[in-house]
Amino acid sequence: MKLLVTGGAGFIGSHYVRTVLDGAWGLGEPDEVVVLDKFTYAGNIENLAPVRDDERLRVVEGDILDRELVDKLIGQADAVVHFAAESHVDRSILGARDFVMTNAVGTQTLLDSALGLGIDKFVHVSTDEVYGSIPEGSWDEDEPLLPNSPYSASKASSDLLARAYHRTHGVPVSITRCSNNYGPYQFPEKVIPLFVTNLIDGANVPLYGEGTNVRDWLHVDDHCRGIHLVLLRGRVGETYNIGGGTELTNKELTGLLLAATGADWDRVDRVTDRLGHDLRYSVDISKITEELGYTPQVDFEQGLADTVDWYRNHREWWEPLKARAALGR
């Protein structure tokens, strides 16, 4: 199988590329992996360093909005795994245009190309945030989309486009929706790497409001294994939730990170809550479990400890990223 992986130099995409080339899930290895990445602030070639010498890997710098380039790459691929997206909610609140262009129009560009050239499978990677907020219980895949941030609205738009291209044109699309990811190589503006790197550097961390917002935490390896199962065995035209099964309030998560880094609560700054901040996310994973045999494998306590250790031991990776971010680059 020849794979085109969009956004394959980002946090989740690069984990997928590294692991699928290594055959770590025992689900078979591809003949070729082509990474298409724009290398914005979140895309980092160093994320692919462990597999840079693999002869099956080819990295192309480019934009999913570039139809000519997309056509060239899809024309050479058997399947597409589409990670490329603008994904940080706070950035979307400050300015939504890039999110709409990349997430919605970029996805439409890929789908148009897949329609014109043909493809065996197209996996569109999305988020549980498209469902909005749920006070109790968990969403299944039939839940209506009620996004509350410009980011989640742009992802919901891309989901609907993917569904429409399957229903209208028969493009073999499957959609995945994940809960909050954590693990190594995550860009340090996200909560876990931001808090860990700040705390081990002696800096304070910001906690939104009262810290009562609840998230389900999913290790990136579990997420990517779920995506690969959908690629290989998932039904076209279907959506699959991928969750981790560990729900924590932001305050509870903060306490765990303080303990892991030997810091106290005086290192926490209470900040004004995010605009439109969803209270709780929770996905029902019964469908992917029953159809594809997915269950999360990474114990959260161990996964979090390993993630903290990774950031502690890889300053050379995250220090330049935080320095550039501080300069607004």
Any domain includes 43: yes
Residue 87 has what pLDDT? 80
115 domain-assigned = yes
pLDDT exceeds 50 at position 60: yes
Q: C-alpha distances in angstroms, 303 versus 252, 259, 262, 307?
A: 16, 15, 18, 6
Residue 264 domain-assigned (yes or no): no
Considering the domain boundaries, does residue 191 fall inside one? Answer: no
Q: What is the pLDDT of residue 325?
A: 67
CB atoms within 10 A of CB 53: 7
The residue type found at 159 is D
Lowest-confidence region among 20-34, 125-139, 315-329: 315-329
The first and second tokens of residue 77, run together, are 């691929």
Cα 93 to chain centroid, rounded: 19
Q: How far apart are CA 171 and CA 257, in angstroms?
A: 43
Predicted confidence at residue 326, as pLDDT, reads 65
Q: Give the torsion sign (CA, 213, 87, 310, 206).
A: negative
Catalytic residues: 128-129, 151
Q: What percent of the chain has pLDDT over 70?
A: 98
Give the pLDDT confidence score for residue 20 in this predicted structure: 97
Contact 102, 65 (CB under 8 A): yes
Residue 185 has pLDDT above 80, yes or no: yes
pLDDT of residue 61: 98
Residue 46 forms part of a structural domain:
yes
Nearest to 124 by CA among 99, 96, 156: 156
Cβ atoms of residues 282 and 216 within 8 Å: yes
Number of domains the chain contains = 1
Residue 33 falls in which region: left (phi positive, over 0), alpha (psi -120 to 50) or beta: beta
Task: Evaluate whether 176 touches 240 at the Cβ level (below 8 Å).
Answer: yes
Q: Cβ contacts of residue 155 below 8 Å, gap of 6+?
A: 85, 103, 126, 127, 129, 130, 147
Q: Please tell me the pTM assigned to this model.
A: 0.96
User: Within a domain: residue 132?
Assistant: yes
CATH of the domain at 153: 3.40.50.720
- The whole-chain average pLDDT of the chain stands at 95
**Span of 104-113, 297-306, 317-326 with lowest mean pLDDT:** 317-326
Q: How far apart are CA 263 and CA 205, in angstroms?
A: 11
pLDDT at residue 329 is higher than 90: no
pLDDT of residue 328: 46
pLDDT at residue 107 greater than cutoff 90: yes
Mean pLDDT for the stretch of residues 66-95: 93
Whether residue 69 is contained in a domain is answered as yes
Asked if the structure places residue 62 within a domain, the reply is: yes
Which has the closest alpha carbon to 19: 314, 298, 326, 312?
298
Domain span holding position 100: 2-182+219-243
Alpha-carbon gap, residue 83 to 87, rounded angstroms: 10
